[in-house]
Each structure stands twice: as structure tokens, then as C-alpha cells.
Amino acid sequence: MADNHGNTPAAWTAVAVAMVGFVIGSVALMLTPVSMVLFWVGVVVAVVALPLFMVMAKMGLNEESH
């Protein structure tokens, strides 16, 4: 593995966005009654993390600054 594996702004941002999506979805499933709209919002937010990472990587933010 590379020395900078996962330690770039693009990676950190993608992980943070995915985590927020999972938290939103998890909270939606714990509500009474279950909020399916909020659950799907969480799913969409989590899925957006991958294209966000790809865009940020193309912008050069997937390289460690020296």
C-alpha cells in the first residue's frame, strides 16, 4: 500500500459524508414509527460519497501535500 493510503482530503471527505449518511439512516430506523423518507435521504447521502470522492480526486485532492 502507498504511504498516503486514505490520508488525503478526498478520502477523509468521502468517509465523513458516508458516515453522516449512515447516521441519518440509522436514526431514521430507530424512530417510532420508522421514517422511510429519512432513511432514503440517508442512503442517498451515503451513496453521494463515492462520486464526491471521484470528483475531488480528479481535482488533485487525492494526493498527499508535501
From the number of C-beta atoms within 10 Å of its C-beta (0-12, 13-18, 19+), residue 14 rates as buried
Distance CA 66, CA 49 (A): 26
Does this model's pTM top 0.75? yes
| Alpha-carbon torsion angle 56, 62, 64, 66, nearest 10 | -50
Q: What digits encode the pLDDT tens for the residues 3-59?
A: 656 789 999 999 999 999 999 999 999 999 999 999 999 999 999 999 999 999 999
**Which pLDDT belongs to residue 5?**
67
Q: Which amino acid is at 25?
A: G
Picking from 54, 31, 53, the residue whose alpha carbon sits closest to that of residue 42 is: 31
Q: Where are the domains of the chain?
A: 9-58
